Amino acid sequence: MIGAMLSEAWQAMHANRMRTFLTMLGMVIGVGAVIMMLAIGQGVQQKVAASIASMGSNLFIILSGSTTSGGARMGSGAVPTLTVSDAQALEELPGIAAVAPAQPGTAQLVYGPNNWSTQVYGTTPSYLTVRDWTMASGANFTDSDVRSATRVALLGQTVVQNLFGSEDPIGKTIRIKNSPYVVLGVLGAKGQSLDGRDQDDTVIVPVTTAQRKLFGSQFAGSVRFIMAQAVSADAMPAAEKAMNELLRQRHHIRNGEDDDFSVRNLTAMANTAAETTQVLSLMLGAIASISLLVGGIGIMNIMLVSVTERTREIGIRMAIGACGRDVLLQFLLEAIIISIIGCFIGVLLGIGGALVVEKVTGLGVVVTVMSIVLAFSVAAAVGIFFGWYPARKASRLKPIDALRFQ
Amino acid sequence: MSETAATAVMPVIRIEHLYKEYLTGAGAVPVLHELDVTVMPGEFVAIMGPSGSGKSTFMNILGCLDVATRGSYWLNGRDVNQQSSDELAHLRNQVIGFVFQGFNLLPRASLEDNVALPLIYRGVKRAERLARAYEMLEKVGLGQYRYSRPNQISGGQQQRVAIARALVNQPKLILADEPTGNLDTHTSQEIMALFTELNQRDGITVVLVTHEADIAGYAQRLVRLTDGNIVYDGPVEHAAEHLESTA
């Protein structure tokens, strides 16, 4: 029965090839747009997620505070109020997994005939833990390097490329601001940060080395900022409070006075960014869904025309024994076939379009099985939904009225 | 009366006090007045009448395509007024074979598919459908055209295909509404010969509507309608004055 109905539906579609094609086109464009937009949205989301992961998880950044000088308030970091010992104290707090003080600065690097200017971070070995950063080769420096302020360095991938090319940098000596430093290790690649900076364009040295030998420091032991990692996302609010209290105590700030530091929850900020991209990709999908809806209305429109046009045929079929259900099924099947085939072509086109976007813009796109399944089931539902009304209209015709229809 | 005797004499069509009116803007217009007709198995009945006499309406009610306003209709022992629309579809499929003036074949389908169409609604498997359709096409002498389309054969041949389609479910009753209305005299005679053969050899009850006296002459019994009333119901032989053509 279904087999016969299928072949009849096929015949009807074949007899009106152009019309079938145009109806299908609405579906193809709708599904294609949904697949493509979801792919682009997913790509953006994945990119943001990767950036967030590269930053490190459950992260706080503690910036040294502002000061007021002659009524003019300076920005964060204007006064070097944070110290390495602050960082050590923070590490003792419950809920804090790792802490790394950081003293950044810019310096010129030289190796052989090559030179390169980059950001140099003075910090402690735990910086890699806090940032979830791995070593590509070599080894991290140690606490004893920090204590004795040795001239050792870890290089980011971009720096290695610019100074060494294909040469292995481990154990080589480079010059930073004309002083020799031994390269202990090479950092793993991290890619772009959320704000688009190249995180691999960096050099890490012991914090004491940076303070005493590289940049100098107005106040002994001061650092620009401290990074801290909480043990878990749940522990973050309590940890933030504890850090605030501890630092106020250590900095002898009385009640009612402003903090001379600020604690920022980087992970919360990153999550906001992730949510934004999620909303963005939802919106892309929603806009694409509208074209799917329009495609569905196209199917309904054509099926209504088809029912009117074939009223006499319906009459003949009823006269020789088709019941309402048979007629309903026949027209419904036609609508479903159109939407399923249209959907299939649309999926292929959407994937193709996504790949073209990837090629042209370099933006990563991700076509997930989920989005294909979603588009397929929505298309089938659209076919059934919009095919239902015309099919029902056909099935409800009275045989005599249908037969008399000219 | 024993049960076997009852089934043996059960009429194919039994109509009592059948009344039909159409609702128009001007009010109810009666088309058929209190008709009583009984058709026994194996009869060959011609219904004649001038245009507007209600013969097409009567035919549509007989074919379960339309329903009467009042009155009773038993088709093959079943009370048509008591049937659901699905059951009516089933009756049209199993008990009745329809032949129309305009042939009413599906233009897109091959002759074979056209003939096999009623079997689809009976859930017959494709191979058997096509075998039986071919058998019926052979019976009306068109086996070699099984893959042709309706527009590739003549009107007389199309009507033969329509008859094959009517026969494919082995109906008890063939209802033919002006089956020769679109055909020339020679082809009409061929089609009527086919009906006669089906009636006499296979014992199928045939009821046809016509306005041509020579077509009605093929039947055994004549029912003449005028303004929705039966003015004659009897053997064709004694109906000379009722047999003039009404076109």
Picking from A259, A282, A308, the residue at the C-terminal end of a domain is: A259
Average pLDDT over residues B178-196: 91
Residue found under tokens 């996302």: A233
* B contacts of A320 (beta carbons < 8 Å): 92-93, 98, 117-118, 121, 165
Does residue A246 share a domain with residue A164? yes
Quick count: other Cβ atoms within 10 Å of Cβ B216?
26
Candidates B22, B69, B104, B124, partner chain A, best to mutate (most A CBs within 10 A): B104
What's the gap in Å between the CA of B94 and the closest CA on chain A?
A: 8
- CB-based contacts of A44: which residues, under 8 Å, 6+ apart? A277, A280, A281, A363
A323/B86 touch (CB, cutoff 8 Å), yes or no = yes
Average pLDDT over residues B118-122: 90
Which backbone phi and psi does A82 adopt, to 5 degrees?
Answer: -90, 145
| Residue whose C-alpha is closest to residue A142's, from A219, A208, A212 | A208
H helix runs in B32-140, sequence order: 55-62, 85-94, 111-120, 126-139
Please check whether residue A15 lies inside any domain of the structure.
Answer: yes
Average pLDDT over residues B221-242: 86
Please check whether residue A298 lies inside any domain of the structure.
Answer: yes
Please check whether residue A114 lies inside any domain of the structure.
Answer: yes
The DSSP line for A74-132 is P-TTSS--EEHHHHHHHHTSTTEEEEEEEEEEEEEEEETTEEEEEEEEEE-TTHHHHTT
Does residue A199 share a domain with residue A93? yes
| Residue whose C-alpha is closest to residue A52's, from A300, A218, A292, A266 | A266
* B contacts of A5 (beta carbons < 8 Å): 120
CA distance A126 to A142: 9
Picking from A226, A259, A292, the residue at the C-terminal end of a domain is: A259
Please check whether residue A64 lies inside any domain of the structure.
Answer: no
Q: Give percent of chain B above pLDDT 70.
A: 93
Does residue A236 share a domain with residue A290? no
> CA A133 from chain center: how many Å?
19
Tokens standing for residue B90: 């089933």
Candidates A17, A316, A329, partner chain B, best to mutate (most B CBs within 10 A): A316
Does residue A359 share a domain with residue A233? no
Q: What is the residue range of A133's domain?
A: 80-259
Does residue A156 share a domain with residue A302? no
Please check whether residue A131 lies inside any domain of the structure.
Answer: yes
Q: Does B98 touch chain A (CB under 8 A)?
A: yes
CA distance A86 to A84: 5
Picking from A221, A237, A259, the residue at the C-terminal end of a domain is: A259
The per-residue pLDDT string of chain A (406 residues; one tens digit each, 9 = 90 and over) reads 677 788 888 888 888 889 889 889 988 998 898 888 888 888 888 888 777 777 777 889 888 876 655 666 666 555 677 888 888 899 888 889 899 999 888 999 999 899 999 999 999 999 998 888 889 999 999 999 999 989 999 999 999 999 998 889 999 999 999 899 999 999 998 887 777 788 899 999 999 898 888 887 666 678 888 999 998 888 888 898 999 899 888 888 888 777 888 888 887 777 787 888 888 888 888 888 888 888 888 888 888 888 888 898 899 999 998 999 999 998 888 888 888 899 899 999 999 998 998 888 877 788 888 888 888 888 788 888 888 899 998 899 888 888 888 6
A320/B98 touch (CB, cutoff 8 Å), yes or no = yes
Q: Which residue has the higher pLDDT, A194 or B145?
A: B145
Q: Does B211 touch chain A (CB under 8 A)?
A: no
Cβ-nearest to B106 among A1, A313, A399 = A313
What's the gap in Å between the CA of B163 and the closest CA on chain A?
A: 12
B window 137-176, beta carbon within 8 A of A: 165, 169
Does residue A174 share a domain with residue A290? no
A326/B98 touch (CB, cutoff 8 Å), yes or no = no
Tokens standing for residue A269: 């900020």
Does residue A112 share a domain with residue A164? yes
Chain A positions with Cβ closer than 8 Å to B: 1, 3-5, 11-12, 15, 312-313, 315-326, 398-400, 403
Quick count: other Cβ atoms within 10 Å of Cβ A245?
11
CA distance A388 to A266: 52
CA distance A177 to A108: 6
H helix runs in A310-398, sequence order: 311-319, 324-361, 369-395
Does residue A141 share a domain with residue A185? yes
Q: How many CB pairs under 8 A join A and B?
A: 69
Report whether B129 contacts B119 (CB < 8 A). yes
Does residue A398 share a domain with residue A309? yes
Does residue A224 share a domain with residue A85? yes
Q: How many structural domains comprise chain A? A: 2
Which backbone phi and psi does A184 adopt, to 5 degrees?
Answer: -85, -35
CA distance B154 to B158: 6
Supply the ipTM of this predicted assembly.
Answer: 0.89
Please check whether residue A99 lies inside any domain of the structure.
Answer: yes
Model pLDDT for residues B15-36, shown as the tens digit of each residue: 999 999 988 888 888 999 999 9
Q: Which residue of B has its CA nearest to A399?
A: B65
Does residue A253 share a domain with residue A292? no
Does residue A333 share a domain with residue A379? yes
